[in-house]
Amino acid sequence: PCQLQVQLGELRRGNVIEGTEEITVDTGIDTHCSVDCQRRPHLSIKVPGYQWSRWSMIINRESNTDTWLPTEKSQRTLYETSGDDQYANEMKTVLQLEHICDGGAQLQLIMSVGPGPVPVIRFYAQYWIIDKTALGLNFTCGTKAATQLEPECLRKTYLSRNLQKDIPESEMKADGHEWSLGMSGMTLFFSSEKTISFAVGGDDS
């Protein structure tokens, strides 16, 4: 539900990833691009209010060569959905984005690659929460108590005033910034847990 910037890269000599193209995808718009599959294509994404994610390999599960296969290290980051999911057979990778402001909550999104001669790549979050209480809520994965909240699992339905003043104006004007920045009563986040807990926010919001 927000503007997405995508940077494409290919593996060069010395296992160095070199950026080849950068595109911007507006809300609700599909786009396409081309890469050299022999060079193990990677991508990095950015949403308003967050830094670029680390490079992640585009993995086509139906490929018959090692070109698209994950390394042993990246294999540990893969996330599989249940068999009854519409896209259960697609390869999933969790991408972690750091907040543009120091101390801001991390954002984790899922990259799903639909296999085939022309792979289809989708990005989404496991939870998309609308907060209509006007209280400002903190959400975390699992059933942990407030004293056990971990920063990387915590998502808020509001933006702290301390953080908001440090957000560049260009980020605040990007399409859908209110979703990814936790403003206007909505928050996005990923968790491997099937349950979530919430508490009423109590900082300087």
Task: Note down pLDDT in tens along the chain; length 205 residues.
Answer: 788 999 999 888 778 888 888 898 887 788 888 877 778 889 999 999 899 999 998 887 643 444 455 555 555 455 555 555 666 677 788 888 888 888 777 788 888 888 878 888 888 887 778 888 878 888 887 776 655 656 556 777 877 777 778 888 888 888 888 887 777 677 777 777 778 888 886 554 4
In a 10 Å sphere around its CB, with 0-12 CB exposed, 13-18 middle and 19+ buried, how is residue 96 labelled?
middle
Token representation of residue 157: 């339905």
42 three-class SS: strand
Task: Compute and round to an integer the Cα radius of gyration of the chain.
Answer: 18
d(CA 191, CA 159): 20
**Phi then psi dihedrals of residue 172, to 5 deg:** -70, -20
Nearest in space to 100 (alpha carbons), one of 60, 59, 159: 159
Token representation of residue 80: 């599989």
Strand partners, 154: none
Are 65 and 115 contacting, i.e. CB atoms less than 8 angstroms apart? no
d(CA 161, CA 163): 5
Q: How would you list the strands of the sheet with 42-46, edge to edge?
A: 16-25, 4-12, 42-46, 56-57
Residues contacting 39, CB < 8 A, separation 6+ = 10, 11, 12
56 three-class SS: strand
